[in-house]
Structure 1
Amino acid sequence: MKDKTAPFFQLKLPSIAVIFFTGFGLLACDILNVENPNSLVEEDLDNPAAAPAIANGAEATLTNALGDLLAPYSTVTDELTWIGTRDAWLALNHGETDDPLNEFVDGAYASINEARWTADNAIHRLEGFREQGSLQSITPLVRSYLYGAVTYLSIAESFDNFVISDRQEAGEPIGRENLYELIDTAIEYTDEGIALATNGSAWETNLKAIRARALYSRALWNRLKPQLNTQSPLVESSEAVTAAREALAAIGEEANWRFQIEVTSATPSNNLAFQVNERLELRISEAFAEPNSENTRVDSVTLQDPIDEIPAPFLVEQVEEFTSAAEYADYTIVSARELHLIIAEDAAAREDNGDFTTAINNLRALDELTDFSGQVSARDLLEHSRQVNLFLQGRRLADLYRFGKTSPQWNSSRVTPGVFFPITNSEITSNPNVDFGD
């Protein structure tokens, strides 16, 4: 396994312990028997009793990072539209992804890099406890592998370049052509977590589903990078399909299963939800829903199912859940719905109408929709089903690019199809190995 234990380049040494112990209400705990956990030093984290708190820290930084990242990502797509006052949101809404000075992408870069380091460091420390025979429970380590996998996937699916540094030596840009290595790390982390998880446990199921998502993402990468392929955009991956079927078997009878990271007043809030529901800087766009008379919130979902010609039921449910949660909307990391979509897309890529029909109808049955029997093209139904079932989950921009679609808000002079976010200003100004344009 590659050594990724060092923190990212900008992380200040005194903040290391605080990162772990600010997660999920742990500031008041006496797990290390100190008077003030805010004054912990890095050495305190070498105590095996800190294992649950270390894993919680990895979850907390990922929770924070997902909101910071999904807000600009979703704004670039047709999922959200800008209605506020900040020009950097407007630039994103116009489809501009390549500006390293965009303040919201810059903030997302820093947050996801912090989450990346925290997960890697958690894995390193907890693996050390395990080797010493002092890890009291395997669950914190399993969780840390899961959070690491999600973090690496989120980076690879949102950025075109990235830097993994340590605090002694600045790293080099990975390069667009090598970014798939981060997905490989995510797959490796799911494998490690599954091997350690209790057989039949919820954590094993979560990891199996994330592994299927990661294998799909690895195959999708070849349609997007280093060159965009709109001529053959569908993903065919027997590995991803096998993993998806294994995950569905582990899920069992919970047909509408999903793995979510919970957001509450005791966790970092969801910045995506805050910008939409509280600050009103962004709004769910007309491609999905009609706004109210003040143009600030959703009035009703208008995106219709192409067969039943009714507002897509799951989208209606998701919009209501998201908007009613204020700034505390949970993050869906992976779902049974996505697993069915992986299987359906592979079948469509192979032009296997029987397998596609079975998979897509397994998905449609979750919403009691009419079975597909050729009423529309398989490709059109697949695209619609991904649009509805992966709403605000960080998948949409890749689909717009590869399917040759656009957002109504895009300004053609600011859009470069196939381009995702760059290494941003905070890294460029602190890392001598990075220049503008990397």
Structure 2
Amino acid sequence: MRAPTSSFSRGARARRAAAASLAALVLAGAGCKVLDVENPNNVVDAALDDPAAAPPLATGTVGSTIRALNAMLDVYGTATDELDFVGSQDGFFQLDVGNVSRAVLQFSDNGYLQLASARWTGDESIRRLAAFDQQNQLANRNDLATSYLYAAINYVTIGDMFDDFPIASNRAEGAAPVGEAQMSLVYDTAAAYLDRGLVIATTTNNAALRTQIIAMRARAKYSKALWAKLNPPTRQAGAPEPVANPLVNDPGASADAAAALALMGSADFTLTVAPTSNGTAGNNFGNDLNSRREVRIGQAYATPDPAAQGQNRTLVVNGQPAIALADPVSGQPDPALRARVSALINGGNFLPAIVVSAREMQLILAEAALAQGNTAEFTTRVNAVRAFTPGLPAYTGAGVAPQELLAHMRRVNLFMQGRRLADMYRFGQRDPRWQQSSAAYTTRGCFFPITQTERQSNPLVTPNSACES
């Protein structure tokens, strides 16, 4: 027998029904305006016209650049021999086997989107802060110099990692790509930005910013000269073919490298940036290496742990990674590489990225000296780099050939800094994991394409890359 409903329950239900009806009438009478609310955290575009917005604009440029570098190093390293795919994501597998030019891979697409966003953010920050500066409304001119520096980092990264890019796109307004044959122009833009930033940093007497800007300008000029050696891409049949004259000797890059070193002094200087959980976010690389473990340090560099499932991590012995790549002078596992690998595998999810360094400046000068036949200067410069790592003996000129040593020094001292793929191409090296049908294997000089999201949203992008054919 069903229990009777109490009078209390019937009254409560009636009151709830009446309240619901009244609420419906109120909403109807108000025309639903109760839902028209304002979020005090929203920032409208007009608010950025206020000179007080200058510090957040500069900080936003820095943050977006860090996110972009983090996302791009993740996929760039996987496309080289620096990282090996060991996980479950097909996109990483495709990169690992050399299919760098596929536009549909989600991870390179993410990197593209992060870098495109950072490029726009930097340009927009410069546009607004330069206007404030012209009107004498910029409280701290170093904010503009910083924007110039980080915008230049984005432009150099675009040139180093992409075959083409629609630079002039403005939010929802797509622009035509620069064109593969014209991509060296991004380095010119970077150098021009750095010129302007240097004027400001000199005026404000900001020595730290001056050092970073001059070093970055050396890298931009060097990268442009290296780009010219790899473009247009060259089809290769059979064994990899090194560039006939692979060494870069750019007077502007050398002058800036020497000037930067004069400011750095004897320190092992680096411009290092890192994502954070409460600021820049964007931990693609650290997450994929140390948490999700889609990738590990390449086995050409460090020995995989045979006890790990799928060998998805680096072997650690006595607290140090087991290094597989030997220093060609001492014949021992390279301690410079060991230090770098250790920092990465023990760095957690938010890994720092080295943008420029004293080591890179010395290597730019060493390469220029070697290109000029000045072996004494080359030896001095490479030994300056070797001196940064305790335990490395000096190079005397005996044994290993100078160009072979240069390639090795760049390989370990610029590890996971976005330089490796260009070096592999120009020195005639291949990752054993590259498939023989892949773009990286068959065509020297192929980098990332304009990816699928941009192609679907921008009708001005027409795929015609030699690396995709």
Length-normalised TM-score, structure 1: 0.89
**Displacement after TM superposition at 1:302 (Å):** 1.8
Is the contact between residue 304 and residue 311 of structure 1 (CA under 8 Å) also seen in structure 2? yes
The 2-side partners of 1:191 and 1:36 are apart by 40
Pair 1:211-2:202 in alignment: no
Higher mean C-alpha deviation, range 170-179 or range 242-251: 170-179
Pair 1:260-2:260 in alignment: no
The 1-side partners of 2:172 and 2:99 are apart by 34
Who is 2:182 aligned against? 178
The 1-side partners of 2:434 and 2:131 are apart by 49
Pair 1:118-2:121 in alignment: yes
Query: How has the CA–CA distance of structure 1 residues 202 and 417 changed in structure 2, closer, same or farther, with 3 Å as cutoff?
Result: same
Higher mean C-alpha deviation, range 48-57 or range 367-376: 367-376
Share of identical aligned residues, percent? 41
CA deviations on 1:160-217 (whole Å, 9 max, x unpaired) are 0111212474311211110000011111111111110133521111111101111111
Question: What is the root-mean-square deviation of aligned Cα atoms in Å?
Answer: 1.4
2:357 corresponds to which of 315, 329, 335: 335
Who is 1:225 aligned against? 231
Who is 2:300 aligned against? 287
Q: Secondary structure at the match of 2:453?
A: helix
CA deviations on 1:105-134 (whole Å, 9 max, x unpaired) are 111111100000000000011011111111
The 1-side partners of 2:144 and 2:274 are apart by 19
The 1-side partners of 2:346 and 2:282 are apart by 14
Who is 2:18 aligned against? none
The 2-side partners of 1:224 and 1:49 are apart by 44
Who is 1:373 aligned against? 396
Who is 1:4 aligned against? none
**Displacement after TM superposition at 1:37 (Å):** 5.8
The 1-side partners of 2:171 and 2:291 are apart by 36
Matches within 5 A, 1:225-244: 225-227=231-233, 230-244=243-257
Is the contact between residue 63 and residue 270 of structure 1 (CA under 8 Å) also seen in structure 2? no
Q: Secondary structure at the match of 1:106?
A: helix
Is the contact between residue 67 and residue 275 of structure 2 (CA under 8 Å) also seen in structure 1? no
CA deviations on 1:283-332 (whole Å, 9 max, x unpaired) are 11111000112112111122111111222112111111111111111110
Matches within 5 A, 1:34-49: 38-49=41-52
The 1-side partners of 2:42 and 2:65 are apart by 23
Pair 1:53-2:56 in alignment: yes
Q: Secondary structure at the match of 2:199?
A: helix
Pair 1:88-2:112 in alignment: no
Letter of the aligned partner of 2:221 in structure 1? L
Query: How has the CA–CA distance of structure 1 residues 82 and 37 changed in structure 2, closer, same or farther, with 3 Å as cutoff?
Result: farther
Who is 1:196 aligned against? 200
1:324 corresponds to which of 346, 349, 358: 346
Query: How has the CA–CA distance of structure 1 residues 136 and 145 changed in structure 2, closer, same or farther, with 3 Å as cutoff?
Result: same
**Displacement after TM superposition at 1:54 (Å):** 0.7
Is the contact between residue 194 and residue 207 of structure 1 (CA under 8 Å) also seen in structure 2? yes
Pair 1:411-2:424 in alignment: no
Specify every segment of 5 or more residues in structure 2 that has no aligned partner in the other structure, as ranges: 1-37, 235-241, 316-321
The 2-side partners of 1:242 and 1:382 are apart by 19
Q: Aligned pair count? A: 403
2:369 corresponds to which of 347, 351, 354: 347
Who is 1:312 aligned against? 334
The 1-side partners of 2:363 and 2:140 are apart by 35
Higher mean C-alpha deviation, range 344-353 or range 225-234: 225-234
Pair 1:66-2:69 in alignment: yes
Specify every segment of 5 or more residues in structure 1 that has no aligned partner in the other structure, as ranges: 1-34
Pair 1:386-2:399 in alignment: no
Pair 1:274-2:297 in alignment: no
Who is 2:29 aligned against? none
Who is 2:31 aligned against? none
The 2-side partners of 1:37 and 1:86 are apart by 40
The 2-side partners of 1:304 and 1:71 are apart by 24
Is the contact between residue 332 and residue 393 of structure 1 (CA under 8 Å) also seen in structure 2? yes
**Displacement after TM superposition at 1:227 (Å):** 4.0
The 1-side partners of 2:464 and 2:104 are apart by 11
Higher mean C-alpha deviation, range 90-99 or range 222-231: 222-231
Is the contact between residue 200 and residue 250 of structure 1 (CA under 8 Å) also seen in structure 2? no
1:425 corresponds to which of 452, 457, 463: 452
Who is 1:27 aligned against? none
Who is 1:298 aligned against? 314
The 2-side partners of 1:402 and 1:191 are apart by 29
1:144 corresponds to which of 143, 147, 150: 147
Is the contact between residue 270 and residue 330 of structure 1 (CA under 8 Å) also seen in structure 2? no
**Displacement after TM superposition at 1:374 (Å):** 1.7
Is the contact between residue 71 and residue 282 of structure 2 (CA under 8 Å) also seen in structure 1? no
**Displacement after TM superposition at 1:56 (Å):** 0.8
Q: Which runs of 4+ in 1 moved over 4 A?
A: none
Who is 1:20 aligned against? none
Length-normalised TM-score, structure 2: 0.84
The 1-side partners of 2:360 and 2:283 are apart by 22
Is the contact between residue 100 and residue 447 of structure 2 (CA under 8 Å) also seen in structure 1? yes
The 2-side partners of 1:324 and 1:371 are apart by 29
The 2-side partners of 1:124 and 1:263 are apart by 25
Is the contact between residue 337 and residue 412 of structure 2 (CA under 8 Å) also seen in structure 1? yes
Who is 1:135 aligned against? 138
Higher mean C-alpha deviation, range 227-236 or range 322-331: 227-236
The 1-side partners of 2:385 and 2:125 are apart by 36
